[in-house]
Chain A
Amino acid sequence: MRRVTGQRRGRILLMIYLFLFPSLAIFLLYRITPIIWNFLLSFQEWQFIGPNIWIGLENYAEMIRDPVFWQSFKNTLFYFFGGTPIAIALAVLIAVLVNNPIRGRNAYRVMIFLPYPITPVAVAIIWQWLYNEKVGLINYVLRTLRLVSDPVPFLQSFKLALPSVIMTTVWQVLGYFVIIVLTGLQTIPDDLYESAELDGANRFTQFFRITLPLIRSTIFLCFIVGIINSFTVFDIIYVMTDGGPGHATEILVTNIYKNAFTFNRMGYAAAMTVFMFLFLMLVTWYSNRISGGEAGGVNYYE
């Protein structure tokens, strides 16, 4: 750490505060102020054009009684509990395979990571088409293999819509998890495996007794990433199903968006946002406690 002493102290301090100013200003404007603003808005009724009416806790009361709200919350949790374990399990499997000293490792890594930077809107359109009842590839394959007799309406059925959307997200996020797990795998020293093999352990035993326990914190990190992701996914759902059919794929964020910008119920949407924010805070704080402060901030912009 550099000390700020000596003759130039004043000028250096000025530089420091000036240098910190732009980013702090942006965060003040676009992160801190919104928290307070949301909080205040949640106690009002505002149709965007017209006066704000202070209505106290009524938005929250309505929220608790609103079945759509609970559906969207449930869907968000299902998104996390359904999608993340599958993604992590697949990622661990793939990472173990890629970790072997085979030729072309890099090429495999690149191909598996490839879906991740693709624009989520494009991913949604691609998969919406793959799931299409009439012309979708998935239905075609299923029918050709005679696994089903009638076309399966993946995105139109109440029961299948959410799992289908979750599968799409798994497809995209898999590469990301694989890289995280790969990094964790590479911290395990090779001689552990060698001595285990000398002791007569086969590869399965090695995997369950050595690999898995040692990448526990990595897997935990993936869980954190997963839960943040499931709360902030918007693009894919909005484009693929827009919360439909009914509200089968409605998650908190799409519900908030609709209330704020389609129905113009700013106060109500703000109340739901406050709820979402507090819930996320709880989860992040709790997971920080469990992991001993390892998993801090994660990027939310995907």
Chain B
Amino acid sequence: MSRRRTHILTHILLILICFLIIVPIYWVIKTSLTGENLFNYPPSLIPRDPHIYFFVDVYYWIPFLRFFMNSVIVSAIVVVSNIVFNAMAGFALGYNFPGKKFIILTYLSCMMVPFQTTIIPAFLLTKYLGLLNTHLGLALPLVSTIINIFVFKTNFDAVPSSLHDAARIDGMADWKMLFRIYLPLARPAIATNIILTFVWSWNNFIWPLIITQDTIMRTLPLGLARFLSYFEDTSGQLYAFVIMVITPIIVVFLMNQRSFISGMMSGAVKG
């Protein structure tokens, strides 16, 4: 087959595939703007009489802004502390020190413990710490992640030791070097950290489900799930809520596609 023909075929197939993948999302957007469902009439491809009243309803029926702020605050705590703690740990792992093998073994074995197997003790622990129903309690289990430690470590290892030695000769304390020299050079590692931890913390559902007791402390995914149980699953407001919940993360994704994709890749392959 000629090059040209294969390319056209490839395009056709890919367009078809992308169509199938995007159709659910488009359909939800359309329904959130028109509220029509297939009960009454055959569906139209383009929103007929669109309006934003469903979005207004969601905003006033539930404490949407509060849920949003909860998600934002928890994610902010998680992202910032992840960057700080993981960079510190990744930096420390660059040295040869007694007990290093043991520490690395500890980290690696912790990587193999999925969150879902820790929910019961984590819940009890949070309860005894008095952090149930608080932003800090929501954030705490996610505040450091091993993969990201190794992301930083790999990045720091690539910094030539001549820089380190020169700084040491200049009299700079080692810990200062992390902040003055290594972190400014670690932009991709920081980006990966931010993306991975932001996605995990924003989308987290099972932990807020277990931890929150008051409606007012719910995060966005939890609020969405509870909304479904109050209102029928065919109401336009539900889909408006869905759109409101997924828009931030889609926007963040589209603004940073390349870092996003390569960042989530690091989450699959070790080191």
Which residues of A are in contact with B by a Cβ distance under 8 Å? 1-4, 8, 11-13, 15-17, 19-20, 22-24, 26-27, 29-35, 37-38, 41, 94, 97-98, 100, 102, 104, 106, 108-122, 125-130, 132, 134-137, 140, 171, 174-176, 179-180, 183, 203, 221, 225, 228, 231-232, 234-235, 238-239, 253, 256-257, 260-261, 266, 269-270, 273, 276-277, 280-281, 284, 295-302
Contact = CB atoms under 8 A, between A and B. Distances in A.
Given A98-B14, A108-B14, A122 B224 contact: yes
Most chain B CB within 10 A, of A15, A225, A270, is at A15
Contacts of A98: 14
Given A2-B94, A119-B202, 8 more contacts: A15-B92, A22-B144, A32-B106, A102-B10, A130-B27, A280-B117, A295-B270, A297-B108
A100 B5 CA distance: 12
Interface stretch (B52-60, B62-70, B83-91, B183-191): B83-91
B144 A2 contact: no
The secondary-structure label for the interface of chain A is helix
Interface string B126-158: 000000000000001111111101000000000
27 contacts: A2-B94, A2-B161, A2-B164, A15-B175, A20-B89, A23-B88, A26-B85, A26-B143, A29-B125, A30-B140, A94-B14, A111-B22, A120-B203, A121-B205, A125-B239, A203-B1, A231-B116, A232-B115, A232-B116, A235-B206, A235-B221, A261-B210, A269-B120, A277-B117, A298-B268, A299-B145, A299-B147
Q: What 6 A-B pairs have minimum CB-CB distances, sorted nearest first?
A: A297-B111, A34-B121, A34-B118, A296-B270, A300-B114, A37-B121
A270 B245 CA distance: 33
Interface of B: 1, 6-7, 10-11, 13-14, 17-18, 21-25, 27-28, 37-39, 43, 81, 84-86, 88-89, 91-97, 103, 106-108, 110-125, 140-147, 149, 161, 164, 173-175, 178, 196, 199-200, 202-206, 209-210, 220-222, 224-225, 228, 233-234, 238-239, 242, 245-246, 249-250, 253-254, 257, 260-261, 264-265, 267-271
A221 B269 contact: yes
Contacts of A135: 37-39, 234
Contacts of A235: 203, 205-206, 221
A1 B146 contact: no
A11 B89 contact: no
Nearest to A267: B120
A163 B174 CA distance: 55
Contacts of A125: 224, 228, 233, 238-239, 242
Contact of A176 (B25, B141, B268): B268
The secondary-structure label for the interface of chain B is helix
Nearest to B98: A13
A2 B96 contact: yes
Contact of A137 (B43, B86, B206, B221): B43
Contacts of A130: 24, 27
Contact of A270 (B22, B120, B265): B120
Contact of B106 (A4, A27, A126, A253): A27
A281 B144 CA distance: 22
B174 A299 contact: no
A239 B225 contact: yes
Nearest to A234: B206
Contacts of B225: 121, 238-239
A33 B117 CA distance: 12
A113 B18 CA distance: 10
B182 to A, nearest CB: 12
Given A112-B17, A114-B25, A33 B147 contact: no
A245 to B, nearest CB: 16
A110 B262 CA distance: 12
Contacts of A180: 265, 268
A4 B95 contact: yes
